[in-house]
Amino acid sequence: MNNEIYLDHNATAPVREAVAEAMMAALRQAGNASSIHGFGRRQRQLVETARAEVAALLGAPPQNVVFTAGGTEANNLALRGSGRRRVIVSAIEHLSVLQATDGAEIAPVTAAGVVDTEGLAGMLAADSEPALVSVMLANNETGVVQPLDVIAGIVEQAGGLLHSDMVQAAGRLPLDRHAVAMASLSAHKIGGPQGVGALVLGRNMPVSPIIRGGGQERGRRAGTENVAGIVGFGVAARLVREQAGGNAAMARMRDRMESRLLQAFPDAVIFGADAPRLANTSCIAIPGMRAETQIMALDLAGIAVSAGSACSSGKVTTSHVLQAMGAAAEVAQCAIRISFGPGNCDTDSDRLIETLLTLRGRTARQKPEAA
Closer residue to ligand PLP in complex, CB, 181/311: 311
Q: Which residues pair with 115 in a beta bridge?
A: 109
Closer residue to ligand PLP in complex, CB, 158/230: 230
Does position 339 interact with ligand PLP (CB under 6 A)? The reply is no
Does position 70 interact with ligand PLP (CB under 6 A)? The reply is yes
CA 256 – CA 369 distance, rounded (Å):
35
Does position 136 interact with ligand PLP (CB under 6 A)? The reply is yes
Smallest separation (angstroms) from ligand PLP to the CB of 227: 18
Closer residue to ligand PLP in complex, CB, 53/165: 165
Closer residue to ligand PLP in complex, CB, 82/186: 186
Smallest separation (angstroms) from ligand PLP to the CB of 166: 8
- Residue 311 is a catalytic residue: yes
The correct pick among 197, 209, 232, 308 for binding ligand PLP (CB under 6 A) is 197
The correct pick among 101, 164, 186, 294 for binding ligand PLP (CB under 6 A) is 186
Q: Which of residues 166-185 bind ligand PLP (CB under 6 A)?
A: 167-168
Does position 158 interact with ligand PLP (CB under 6 A)? The reply is no
| Segment lying near ligand PLP (by CB under 6 A), choices 54-62, 66-74, 152-160, 341-349 | 66-74
CA 218 – CA 198 distance, rounded (Å):
14
Per-residue binding letters, 295-334, with ligand PLP (x by CB under 6 A): ----------------x-----------------------
Chain contacts with ligand PLP (rule: CB under 6 A): 70-72, 75, 94, 96, 136, 140, 165, 167-168, 186, 188, 197, 311
Residues noted as catalytic: 311
